[in-house]
Amino acid sequence: MKDGTNAMDEKVLVSSLQILSQLLYKHFGQKTVILIDEYDVPLDKALKQIEEKDYVAKLKQDGMDNFIKYGIACFKKVCKVVGEKIND
């Protein structure tokens, strides 16, 4: 793990996905499709940006005291939202 991200050799990744595909085929008796969800990457970037830009401190100076930070990632017609209450 480097800077909070996981790294994997491409050959290991491809091999792992091939094995997973074979196991799914054996289990279900039909070809399967494996979809890789990368929505978490932009969501994590959005949440990290909120902390890096220190928006909460600026809003506190304006008298606000309840905060929820959230990130939204969309691809075509599918969106994913993550959020959390900030307890400061």
**Which burial class, exposed, middle or buried, applies to 71 when counting CB atoms under 10 A from its CB (0-12, 13-18, 19+)?**
buried
Whether the pLDDT of residue 76 is over 60: the answer is yes
Between CA 71 and CA 49 the distance in angstroms is 10
13-27, 29-43, 68-82: which is most confident: 13-27
pLDDT at position 1: 43
Whether pTM > 0.85 for this model: the answer is no
- Quote the longest CA-to-CA distance of the chain: 61
What pLDDT does residue 80 have?
83
User: Helix, strand, or coil here: 34?
Assistant: coil
Residue 55: is its pLDDT beyond 70? Answer: yes
Write the burial class of residue 63 (CB in 10 Å: 0-12 exposed, 13-18 middle, 19+ buried): exposed
pLDDT of residue 77: 78
Residues of the chain with pLDDT > 70: what percent? Answer: 88
Tokens encoding 9? 């050799």
Given this model, what pLDDT does residue 13 score?
82
